Structure 1
Amino acid sequence: MRIAPITPGTRPELAALEAQILAERGRISPLYQILLNSPAITHGWEQMLSAVRNRNSLPASLRELVILRVAILNRAPYEFDAHVPHALKAGVPQAVIDATRMPSIESDAPFSPAERVAMQLTDTMTRDIEVPDVLFADVQIHFDTQAQIDLVATIAAYNMVSRFLVALQIGH
């Protein structure tokens, strides 16, 4: 790690923030121990990522597939490993999890049509940034307006997470 983590419980001024993280996540992970070096960022991060992970309209299985794919594309193994248990708990078969590791999403990958479109959107947003109209038209076929927002926000948020982890070498 490039920045020293803050050991939970060692700074009284962080007690409320640590309690909030514990209530939402059940533990203070190495990621959050690094984030605690900036309380305002930690607070905003926790609010946004908790909404993305716990209060959006996507099925948990789809959300976790998107997170896994972003982690693979951004070479963030810590993030991938952290989310495999969540994907399994959400009912994602191991073969589908394994398919997120492919260099590109092939037509024979074991994804449902909606998952395939979500994976294509994930790849495009992560690799190319700009999303062609034809791809977004496919997104609109499979997802209502709220789910479109939640899908794009999930992809964008986990690009932020994985890039933060990689830049600061968290989980190495």
Structure 2
Amino acid sequence: MNTTTHPSRLGLYAGSDERVDAAFTVIHGRGGEILNIHKTLCHSPGMFRAMATYAAALRSESAIAAQIRQLVVLRVCQLNSGAYEWSVHVGVTTKMGVPMAKIEALRNWTESDLYSDEERAALGFADQTSANTGVNEETFQTALKIFGARGVVDLAALVSWYVGNTRFATALEIVPDGPGVLE
């Protein structure tokens, strides 16, 4: 486990690259902060740029409502032991107005009455996609009915991205940025 003050097991990036500078400018421009995942991605500037572009599209081009996307991200973190992403997204989710009770109930969301039909459809899709067993027909059709074809594509892209990100952060031992602890 990485117990240093470095952002990840790779240490601090000491290079200089215009793609990194441009990515940091975009992040700052939208009011964001430079996180440890960004500091780690600096070691591969081209990959950083590509991943930042994809992540931005997940936020700005999705037909799925932002609060639902964040609940899905947190659920994927739970299912994939994504402590780093959880630490980042629990704060984002609460800032969007999602009640802490919903976040705390995610582990047992199927037994809770806190979630809307839309949230249930998205969480069910996330559970099955994360399990890597495919999405059964009933879950798929429910998601399709609620979100449409575009929304199903957006949901599959979101879940797949964060399954990958949880594994990326774990492999590189990226140090959590925030106070959130994986539940």
Map 1:153-168 → 2, pairs under 5 A = 153-168=157-172
1:39 maps to: 45
Q: Which runs of 5+ in 2 are unaligned?
A: 1-7, 177-183
Map 1:12-27 → 2, pairs under 5 A = 13=18, 14-24=20-30, 26-27=32-33
Letter in 1 for 2:13: I
- Aligned counterpart for 1:77 among listed residues 68, 77, 83: 83
Indicate if the aligned counterparts of 2:105 and 2:112 stay in contact, CA closer than 8 A. no
Indicate if the aligned counterparts of 2:64 and 2:155 stay in contact, CA closer than 8 A. yes
In the alignment of these two chains, the number of paired residues is 168
Indicate if the aligned counterparts of 1:99 and 1:109 stay in contact, CA closer than 8 A. no
1:134 maps to: 138
1:61 maps to: 67
Query: Hey, what's the Cα distance between the residues in 2 that align with 1:99 and 1:46?
Result: 30
How many Å apart are 1:15 and its aligned residue? 2.3
2:16 maps to: 11
How many Å apart are 1:109 and its aligned residue? 4.6
Letter in 2 for 1:133: E
Higher relative contact order (CA 8 A, sep 6+): 2
Give the alignment's TM-score, normalised by structure 2.
Answer: 0.83
How many Å apart are 1:82 and its aligned residue? 0.9
1:169 maps to: 173
Indicate if the aligned counterparts of 1:88 and 1:94 stay in contact, CA closer than 8 A. yes
How many Å apart are 1:18 and its aligned residue? 2.7
Write out the 4+ residue segments of structure 1 that deviate beyond 6 Å after TM superposition. none
1:89 maps to: 95
Indicate if the aligned counterparts of 1:21 and 1:46 stay in contact, CA closer than 8 A. no
Indicate if the aligned counterparts of 1:70 and 1:158 stay in contact, CA closer than 8 A. yes
Deviations 1:123-158 (A, max 9, x none): 111113411222101111211222111111111111
Structure 2 counterpart SS, 1:164: helix
How many Å apart are 1:24 and its aligned residue? 4.2
Letter in 2 for 1:4: G
RMSD: 1.9
- In the alignment, structure 1 residue 49 sits paired with structure 2 residue 49: no
Indicate if the aligned counterparts of 2:109 and 2:115 stay in contact, CA closer than 8 A. no
- In the alignment, structure 1 residue 125 sits paired with structure 2 residue 129: yes
- Taking structure 1 as reference, are residues 159 and 119 closer, same or farther at Cα in structure 2, changes over 3 Å only? same
How many Å apart are 1:164 and its aligned residue? 0.6
